């Protein structure tokens, strides 16, 4: 039975152990709803360079003593300063997210700092909605105009202020497309360094700057890790804002679809380890990604893996669970507690997604391919078996349990299905990542200490042979190839 079409506006508290779970309406569509609310901006919004994260950004993240609880700190590197956006804006949010989630976005926002007085409209001055006259794209000022190495020693672009887009970047190709715009591969014509330009659509001036993009900028300012994608700088053009990222040659969805190159056991272990290392860093920093999937896991030709797309990421408090929306994480990677309506959760939702990715690395395709939320649960049952109160103590008190509980008892055959691809130690880790009970699901730090990485041979080895691939492989190309095959099949049947 599907979730109800209408639910009461007031939330009803349920309990999973000692954690309250609030009931909120969720989409019945098969995919996570990525349409986020937007915030209205003031006219003449300004830009300023940033160096180290500001005190406002620090408020967004847990205190140092919180970090110490989650394990040893990641290696610290010094990075060049990057530009940043700031503007005085009122926040506008939807009702489907909890109060703690709303408070999180308001606290420590980089957009909360006022502009210089001459740029802020007076108390009675109306804010015009008329878009400005077209102007060439401008690069926001950087601290230095010279080439600056990043943590891995690779030169990164640092653009002089006032440079136009035509002078600075040459678009090579489109490599992706998301909710708020397209992603392009571009070449810096001065330094010949390739970057990824993520275009944020801003044509609808009345809606202002997207909250999703604001969150991503806010997070990436403060995140510095070898397994998290780097944001170099921001660019603004008429009607659009561009985020300039380090360029990664492939994403996981694309590279798993190609047939030129096969990963070794050591390569797969390295990719899995790098993914978990990135998640361990995020969770230590108090961040839940909430959209781990193949197209958001990037890989370069050196075999380095980096997590990307932080538009759905959220801050979480390690000592107190917060109330969030369950309309997150693409369906095939969505954990069962969200499918049962849970809205109080933490980093364990990322770990279920990581378990899905681990299986996908070996099988070369997503394992749990449901058509909608009810079918998604059924697909999970047929592999892992139906959950019981012995396996999942808080199951029966989840908000939608009575609506979507399994009708029949299905016995799982997980190890029988995947033993042809995964070793016994790998199967053990995958089972711990895909535990039904979120409280029993392994953390990223614990997963990195598993026998699969520490004891089983071979040791992890970077897939450096990716440099031999012809072309670059992204989800966009994979979708296009599937569409071509589908059209050929349809034409052949006619």
How far is it, in rounded angstroms, from Cα 458 to Cα 267? 9
Q: Which helix (H) or strand (E) holds 371?
A: none
131 vs 101: CA distance, rounded Å: 32
| Angle at CA of residue 182, ends 137 and 83, nearest 5° | 45
Spell out, as residue ranges, where the chain has pLDDT lower than 50. Answer: 5-149, 151-152, 154, 205
Reading the block at residue 490, the tokens are 């349809």
* DSSP codes of every residue in 274-331: HHHHHHHHHHHTTEE-----GGGEEE-TT--EEE---TT-EE--SSS--B--S--S-G
Whole-number Å distance between alpha carbons of 140 and 244: 11
CA distance 36 to 311: 9
What pLDDT is attached to residue 484? 65
What is the phi-psi region of residue 297: left when phi exceeds 0, alpha when psi lies from -120 to 50, beta otherwise?
beta
Q: What is the pLDDT of residue 386?
A: 96
Beta bridge partners of 234: 243
Task: State the pLDDT at residue 483.
Answer: 65
Q: Please give the pLDDT value at position 160.
A: 60
Q: What is the DSSP string of 15-79?
A: EETTEEEE------SSS------EE---TT--EEEE-SPPHHHHTTS--HHHHHHTSSPPPP---
Nearest residue to 341 via CA among 385, 293, 377, 390: 377
Q: Are 342 and 362 in contact (CB under 8 A)?
A: no
- CA 216 → CA 63, 178, 289, 402, distances in Å? 20, 13, 10, 36
Residue 323, beta-bridge partner list: 344
Q: For residue 485, give Cα distances in angstroms to 478, 480, 482, 491, 493.
A: 11, 9, 5, 10, 12
> What pLDDT score was predicted for residue 178?
64
Query: Quick check: bond before 458 cis, omega within 30?
Result: yes
pLDDT at 165: 55
The pLDDT assigned to 319 comes to 78
At residue 381, what are phi and psi to the nearest 5 degrees? -60, -40
Residue ranges and CATH numbers for the domains of the chain are 42-118+134-246 (3.30.200.20), 250-464 (1.10.510.10)
Q: What is the pLDDT of residue 134?
A: 41
pLDDT at residue 159, as a whole number: 60
Residue 323 token pair: 């109330």
Q: Quickly count helices (H) and strands (E) in the chain.
A: 16, 19
Query: pLDDT for 392-448, tens place per residue?
Result: 999 999 999 999 999 899 999 999 999 999 999 999 999 999 999 999 999 999 999
Confidence (pLDDT) at 216:
84
Q: How far apart are CA 170 and CA 185, in angstroms?
A: 9
Please measure the distance between the N-terminal and C-terminal CA atoms of the chain and give it in whole angstroms.
37
71-91 per-position pLDDT tens digit: 444 433 333 333 333 333 333
Taking the whole predicted model, whether its pTM rises above 0.75 is answered as: no
Residues forming the active site? 291
Task: With CA atoms as reference, report the closest residue to 407 among 383, 377, 436.
Answer: 377
């Amino acid at each position: 039975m599907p979730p109800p079409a209408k639910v009461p506006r007031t939330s009803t508290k349920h309990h999973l152990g000692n954690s309250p779970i609030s009931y909120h309406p969720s989409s019945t569509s098969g995919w996570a709803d990525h349409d986020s609310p937007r915030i209205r901006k003031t006219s003449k919004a300004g830009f300023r360079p940033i160096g180290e994260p500001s005190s406002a950004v620090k408020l967004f993240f847990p205190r140092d003593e919180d970090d110490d609880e989650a394990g040893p700190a990641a290696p610290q590197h010094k990075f060049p300063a990057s530009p940043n956006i700031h503007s005085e804006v009122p926040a506008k949010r939807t009702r489907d997210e909890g109060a703690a989630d709303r408070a999180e976005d308001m606290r420590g926002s980089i957009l909360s700092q006022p502009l210089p007085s001459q740029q802020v409209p007076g108390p009675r001055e109306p804010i015009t909605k008329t878009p400005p006259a077209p102007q060439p794209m401008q690069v926001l000022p950087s601290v230095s105009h010279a080439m600056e190495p990043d943590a891995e020693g690779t030169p990164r672009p640092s653009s002089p202020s006032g440079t136009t887009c035509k002078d600075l970047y040459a678009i090579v190709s489109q490599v992706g497309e998301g909710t708020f715009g397209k992603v392009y591969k571009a070449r810096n014509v001065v330094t010949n360094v390739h970057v990824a330009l993520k275009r944020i659509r801003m044509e609808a001036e009345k809606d202002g700057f997207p909250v999703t993009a604001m969150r991503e900028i806010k997070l990436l300012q403060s995140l510095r890790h070898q397994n998290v994608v780097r944001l170099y700088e921001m660019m603004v053009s008429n009607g659009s804002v561009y985020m300039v990222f380090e360029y990664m040659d492939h994403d996981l969805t694309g590279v798993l679809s190609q047939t030129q190159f096969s990963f070794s056991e050591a390569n797969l272990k390295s990719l899995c380890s790098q993914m978990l290392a990135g998640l361990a860093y995020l969770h230590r920093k108090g961040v839940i990604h909430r959209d781990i999937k193949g197209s958001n896991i990037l890989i370069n030709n050196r075999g380095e893996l980096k997590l990307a797309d932080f538009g759905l990421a959220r801050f979480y408090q390690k000592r107190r669970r917060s109330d969030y929306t369950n309309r997150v994480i693409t369906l095939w990677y969505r954990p069962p507690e969200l499918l049962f309506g849970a809205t109080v959760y933490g980093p364990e939702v990322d770990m279920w997604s990581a378990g899905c990715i681990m299986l996908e690395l070996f099988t070369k395709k997503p394992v749990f391919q449901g058509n909608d939320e009810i079918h998604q649960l059924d697909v999970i049952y047929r592999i892992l078996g139906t959950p019981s109160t012995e396996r999942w103590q808080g199951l029966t008190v989840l908000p939608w349990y009575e609506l979507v509980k399994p009708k029949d008892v299905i016995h799982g055959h997980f190890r029988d299905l995947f033993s042809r691809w995964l070793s016994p130690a790998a199967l053990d880790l995958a089972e711990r990542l895909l535990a039904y009970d979120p409280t029993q699901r392994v953390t990223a730090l614990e997963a990195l200490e598993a026998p699969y990485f520490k004891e089983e041979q071979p040791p992890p080895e970077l897939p450096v042979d990716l440099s031999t691939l012809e072309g670059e492989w992204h989800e966009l190309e994979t979708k296009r190839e599937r569409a071509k095959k589908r059209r050929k099949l349809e034409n052949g049947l006619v």
